[in-house]
Structure 1
């Protein structure tokens, strides 16, 4: 049975910070950000958007009423959860008007959880072929003003409809995975911002990739020439390029050139948004679909998923016949180009204005153009508005 990604959508807020402006404010050579990190812009998340509202905006773009009737499971992957008990998925069930005969679960393992959700959905549909599953990866990456990780912040949400006979990608049951308890990145319950050992985390990311890709090749008998593109978790785009260089180290020149060219399409949107945590890998896949010009049905796409702490996995998917009918070339680039550029002072004010541990606070939502917005808290209960 073919099971995989039938639809994919993305949302990020209407604000961004140019990395040249941030470099100037932090007295850093702009090329350290633009070339060394591989980022040109960073999405800025206003206080009127959180992972729930961003997830709702992303899912709303792709779902029909018929889809909602067939969906019987919502899997919400995030490491920026808004409640230690209540799943973000149950907010989505109400905000988007799903039926009540639906399972709602939130999943966590750093940036890996959306991949786990796809595989869980795959198993569910294998047992229930008429079911559809909504998988969402939504996060707000925060490291703190003036920190080393500041340039790798970002945020947004990727929503994917998983079904049998998918129209975009058939997910293959060929994954290899690797886990180890390491402290490369973590966020204690008392912290609003992540703690990270940056160099160590990069080394772990690359080491895990070597493990899972070598095991994948041994398991499947496929070498690098079997892939037409490679997608990676992109905490910053240069990190994915480092993994790609490992993958193509012994490839012939034609294969290496092709995969390097396609990686530029994979990284294009992330370069303008920043880190998405759980959604990062799948934003790269969407970016590949919308920016590559030579993809064809049956092509094999490699997927490297990584979540600090740490879990890694490599698997593949095959592009479905007619997939290009459901993809609009550079569609999301138009949205990115329409965003408002902030000054560093404006960005810092927004960064410091989010709701933390406040019992009651009403937010001004008038300047947020999104359909779904976070309007504040009343007696610690989060309030969402649907326009």
Structure 2
């Protein structure tokens, strides 16, 4: 049975910060941000957006009534969840009006969560071929103002429908995964900002890729020449390039050029959104599919997922006939063009806005947020969501 990505959607908030201007305000050479880490813009979530609303908005554009009835499993990958007990998947299930006879859970392992969700979804579809699974990756990356990680913040979500006989990408069965306990990145439950050992994290990212890549070649007999492109988890776009460069010598000159060019295309969206943790790999995949005009049916695409702490996986997919017909290129082009730039001082003010923690009633103005699904406030320690289309 062929199982894979049948639909894929994306959402980012309507606000962003220009990285050149942030660099100037931080007394940093702009090239350190735009070239050194490879980021142009950073998506900024207003207080009316959180991981739940970002995910719901990403899914809203791709689901039809048939999907709403067939989806019987919602898997929400995130590392910036809003509740230590109730899964974000339950909120999204309700906001989207999905079939009530369904499972809804939240999966956590740093930036690996959505990949774990996809692998779980494959097993569910294998047992229930008529079912569909909604896999969500949604995060708001926060390191704090004037911190070393500030330039690698971001906000956004990717939603994917996993099904049998998918229209976009069939996921191949053989993959390689690796786990070891390291402290390269973490966020204690008492903190709304992450902690990171940047040097160690970069080293482990490369090390994990090397381990799973070598094991994958040994396991499958495939090599670099068998790939049209390799997409990476992108905490910042230069990170994946560092990993790709470690294996380019294994290919012919033609292959090296192809993989490098396709890598650049696959980072287009990420450069203008920033780090969105669990969704970053899949935003890169989406960028490749929507921005590359001549990817051929049957092309094999490699996918490297890395979640600090740490878990890594290398797996692959095969492009399906007419996959372009099932993308939402115009929607995403419009999303980017309609975003509004904020000044650095505005960004700092928005970044510091927080919800009450004392259970008090708190109403938010959703009229200034163009998203269909928003956080409307809080009451009795409960978040109150609104779907403007209902």
**TM-score scaled to structure 1, two decimals?**
0.99
Q: Distance in 2 between matches of 1:358 and 1:236?
A: 36
Change (3 A) 1:370 1:43: same
Q: Distance in 2 between matches of 1:229 and 1:99?
A: 36
Change (3 A) 1:194 1:48: same
Change (3 A) 1:328 1:58: closer
Q: CA RMSD in A?
A: 1.0
Moved over 3 A (4+): 328-331
Q: Distance in 2 between matches of 1:273 and 1:370?
A: 16
Q: Distance in 2 between matches of 1:201 and 1:42?
A: 21
1:99 positional shift: 2.0
DSSP 3-state at the match of 1:120 = helix
Q: Distance in 1 between matches of 2:235 and 2:78?
A: 15
User: For 1:11-160, what aligned pairs fall within 5 Å after superposition?
Assistant: 11-160=11-160
Q: Distance in 2 between matches of 1:208 and 1:144?
A: 27
Provide Cα deviations, 1:327-359, integer angstroms capped at 9, x if missing partner: 355652332122100000000000000225241
Counterpart for residue 276 of structure 1: 276
Provide Cα deviations, 1:22-64, integer angstroms capped at 9, x if missing partner: 0011000000000001000000011000011111101111000
**TM-score scaled to structure 2, two decimals?**
0.98
Q: Distance in 1 between matches of 2:119 and 2:208?
A: 19
DSSP 3-state at the match of 1:105 = strand
Q: Distance in 2 between matches of 1:197 and 1:330?
A: 39
Counterpart for residue 380 of structure 2: 379
1:377 positional shift: 1.0
Provide Cα deviations, 1:176-215, integer angstroms capped at 9, x if missing partner: 0110000000000000000000111000000000000000
Q: Please tell me whether the aligned partners of residues 70 and 132 of structure 2 are also in contact (alpha carbons under 8 angstroms).
A: yes
User: For 1:256-335, what aligned pairs fall within 5 Å after superposition?
Assistant: 256-329=256-329, 331-335=331-335
Farther-moved stretch of structure 1 (130-139 vs 360-369): 360-369
Q: Please tell me whether the aligned partners of residues 70 and 99 of structure 2 are also in contact (alpha carbons under 8 angstroms).
A: no
Counterpart for residue 359 of structure 1: 359
Change (3 A) 1:382 1:249: same
Q: Please tell me whether the aligned partners of residues 8 and 327 of structure 2 are also in contact (alpha carbons under 8 angstroms).
A: no
DSSP 3-state at the match of 2:384 = strand
Q: Please tell me whether the aligned partners of residues 169 and 318 of structure 1 are also in contact (alpha carbons under 8 angstroms).
A: yes
Q: Distance in 1 between matches of 2:217 and 2:355?
A: 47
Provide Cα deviations, 1:227-261, integer angstroms capped at 9, x if missing partner: 00110000000001101111213321110000000
Q: Structure 1: where are the runs of 5+ without partners?
A: none
1:137 positional shift: 0.3
Q: Distance in 2 between matches of 1:105 and 1:84?
A: 12
Q: Distance in 2 between matches of 1:333 and 1:272?
A: 12
1:93 positional shift: 1.3
Farther-moved stretch of structure 1 (351-360 vs 15-24): 351-360
